[in-house]
Structures are given as C-alpha cells and as structure tokens.
C-alpha cells in the first residue's frame, strides 16, 4: 500500500490555492488519435508506486493513443485540491487517484466528479463495487497480519484473537498508530463477525484496545517503518499493509501473511468540468484492461480489480495479491463511507487514548 492511502496522513491542506491555468483546450476524439489537446495530467499518490503506474498505464496509453500523460503527485489528501481546481475552473488535473472515502467526500453535499461512462461490456469483468459511474478501482490492498514463522514455529497465530493473546502467542507486537483498520481488527479479535463490523462499535473497539496496549512494542506510523520493523526483527507479529509485508519478505524476512482482515482500493476519478473529459475517460477505460492491471500487479503487490488479469498473472504472483480469489475470501471490504463520515472524530478519540 502506498503511504498516501492512509487517513492519518490525509491532513487537510489549509489555505491551499490553485494557481496553474488549464493546460489545453477541448479536444475531439477521432479514431485512435486525439487532435487538439494531446496531453492529460493525471495526479497519483507518487512515491514508490509512481514508477509502476507510469510503466503499466501512462506509457502504454501514450504509445497506443498518442496522448501524452503527465503524472504528478497529489497531496496525501487530495480532496481539498480537487475541490479547489473544480471551483476555480483551473484544471491542472484531468484524472486523479482517489479512494472510496475521497469519492464520498467529493460527492456530498456537492458533486465534484464527472461521470466516467465506462463501457458496459467490460464492467462485468471488474470485481463488485470497483466500477461505478464516477470511480474505477484498480489497485486493491489488504490490511492483514504478518508474523515471524521462526518465532511462532509450531504455534502459528490463526486469527486476530490470537494477536490479542500475548500469553499464548508471546512476542514483540507492532500496531498501526491510527484507528483506521485497527478498530476493525480489535472488533474481529473480540468476536465480531466480519459481516457485522459496520457501523463500527467504537466503544467496544477501544475497550478491546485497552487489553493490548501495554503489549504493543512498536506503534508504527508509516508503511516504510512497518516494513523495516518486520524486516529487521524489531517486531515478531504486526498488522501490515499487504504490499509492505511482502516487501519485507522480498528482503529476506521469514514472515508469513495471514489473509484475515480488510481490503480497500485506490482508483481513478475525473474532476467535473475538465475540458479534456473525452481524453480522461479514454484513459480510465484503458486502465480497465486486464493486461495493464496485470502489468501493474507484477510491479507492486497490490491486486487488480479486473478478474481476467489473473489469467495473465502467474499463480505464484497471485499468491501475494489481495484480490486473488484465494486471498480475498478472507478479507472484508473497508466501509469507506463510514470512515469518510467518522474519521475526524474517531481519530481525535484515538489520539486522546494514546495519551492515556
């Protein structure tokens, strides 16, 4: 998972301004080439994921269509920027990488998203809920457990209840320093069925957190830190974002991933009113294709949303991807709408809880 997915790093940009002008005039789409405006700007999460996005999507789209894609990194929470560029009619982006909670905040009370007009023939290939009228999910990440198989040889944890049982499963524990995902794990550990997680019973979750707080050795705050602590043995068991856990495994850490937890998705949306709407829609449609999603998932351990991508992905690679049929059955979809409405209040309570 890219760090910028996380709500704790999604601080609202106060006083931000959009100063750049719109890049080009409207275009007419004819055949496989565009005439007029032949450039679109796509805002993504940047960081380590950006090269994979460029290789799997931007470069082949430009090669096929002649439309140049300029990739830029948006702020960790792009919602304020997104709203400003629409309100000011300064379309410095034509497409933006957003999560479902962003979509919720960009459609209520005012709509800032253009309709995608995705081809109906391709939508059935996409996993449920990942292709809507204003958002296409393409990068599935898991919030799961990683544990050191050498430390727990012969006594491997098999559930979040086991994580919450340091007497039976002793070891140094890591936990994300945020309520996002952590409250869900606490409730799973307390016996709440995955299907009954939402709306979250926040009081019950914090009570369960009370039971484990003194056993947490590392409260990690960033994906890179999570990988490092797993890789260097600083912790024996921790929650993790699946791609971060596999990064530690790729570096030689003797870890196992327990596919129990949550999944969420990054995707594409288009700012309402962009003068390059046709080109932006073509780009999003292009990103539905299984061969390009497979290429992306070969570079980062985030799963495709197009089922047919698994016809291309090797079985060995599929084992590490959250959206593979075998792995996703142990994961529940994070309720982004609930988090979009409750994140600020729950985070404030979590910060107070951390202070004791």
**pLDDT score recorded for residue 343:** 85
Instruction: Classify residue 124: in a domain, yes or no.
Output: yes
Return d(Cα 280, Cα 99) in angstroms, integer.
18
Which residue spans within the chain are E strands per DSSP? 28-30, 33-35, 39-44, 68-73, 95-99, 136-148, 173-176, 216-220, 237-241, 255-269, 331-333
- Cα dihedral across residues 264, 269, 271, 272: positive or negative: negative
Report whether 138 contacts 53 (CB < 8 A). no
**Phi and psi dihedrals of 299, rounded to 5?**
-100, -30
Q: What is the pLDDT of residues 65-103, one digit of tens each?
A: 999 999 998 887 788 999 999 999 999 999 999 988 889
Indicate whether 110 and 250 sit together in one domain: no
Name the β-bridge partners of 58.
Answer: none
CATH at 293 = 3.40.190.10
**pLDDT score recorded for residue 246:** 87
Instruction: Classify residue 200: in a domain, yes or no.
Output: yes
Q: What is the pLDDT of residues 284-313, one digit of tens each?
A: 999 999 999 999 999 988 999 999 999 999
The DSSP bridge pattern shows strands 331-333 and 255-269 to be parallel
Q: How many domains does the chain have?
A: 2
Q: What is the pLDDT of residues 129-141, one digit of tens each?
A: 899 999 999 999 8
Indicate whether 156 and 118 sit together in one domain: no
Name the β-bridge partners of 173.
Answer: 216, 237
What's the domain range around 38? 3-139+266-319
Indicate whether 61 and 83 sit together in one domain: yes
Indicate whether 170 and 276 sit together in one domain: no
Averaged pLDDT of the chain = 88
Instruction: Classify residue 327: in a domain, yes or no.
Output: no
Report whether 166 contacts 174 (CB < 8 A). no
Instruction: Classify residue 249: in a domain, yes or no.
Output: yes
What is the pLDDT confidence band of residue 257, given thresholds at 50, 70 and 90?
very high
């Amino acid at each position: 998972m890219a760090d910028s997915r996380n709500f704790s790093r999604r601080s609202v940009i106060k006083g931000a301004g959009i100063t750049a002008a719109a890049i080009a005039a409207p275009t007419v789409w004819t055949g496989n080439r565009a005439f007029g405006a032949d450039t679109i700007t796509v805002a993504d999460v940047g960081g380590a994921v950006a090269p994979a996005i460029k290789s799997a999507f931007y470069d082949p789209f430009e090669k096929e269509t002649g439309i140049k894609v300029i990739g830029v990194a948006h702020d960790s929470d792009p919602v304020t920027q997104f709203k400003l560029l629409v309100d000011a009619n300064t379309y410095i982006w034509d497409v933006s990488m957003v999560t479902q909670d962003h979509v919720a905040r960009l459609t209520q009370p005012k709509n800032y998203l253009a309709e995608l007009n995705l081809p109906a023939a391709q939508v059935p290939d996409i996993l449920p809920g990942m292709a809507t009228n204003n958002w296409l999910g393409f990068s599935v990440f898991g919030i799961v457990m990683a544990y050191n198989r050498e430390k727990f040889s012969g006594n491997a944890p098999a559930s979040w209840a086991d994580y919450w049982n340091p007497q039976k499963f002793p070891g140094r524990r890591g936990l994300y320093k945020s309520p996002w995902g952590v409250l869900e794990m606490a409730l799973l550990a307390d016996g709440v069925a995955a299907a009954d997680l939402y709306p979250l019973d926040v009081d019950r979750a914090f009570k369960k957190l009370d039971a484990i707080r003194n056993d947490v050795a590392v409260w990690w705050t960033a994906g890179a830190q999570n990988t490092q602590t797993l890789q260097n043995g600083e912790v024996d068991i921790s929650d993790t974002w699946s791609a971060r856990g596999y990064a530690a495994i790729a570096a030689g850490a003797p870890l196992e991933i327990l596919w129990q937890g949550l999944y969420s998705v990054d995707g594409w949306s288009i700012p309402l009113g962009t003068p390059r709407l046709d080109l932006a829609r073509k780009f999003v449609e292009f990103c539905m294709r299984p061969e390009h999603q497979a290429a992306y998932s070969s570079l980062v351990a985030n799963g495709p949303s197009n089922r047919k991508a698994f016809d291309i992905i090797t079985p060995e690679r599929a084992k590490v991807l959250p959206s593979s049929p075998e792995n996703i059955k142990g994961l529940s979809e994070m309720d982004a709408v609930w988090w979009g409405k409750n994140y600020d209040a729950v985070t404030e309570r979590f910060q107070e809880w951390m202070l004791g």
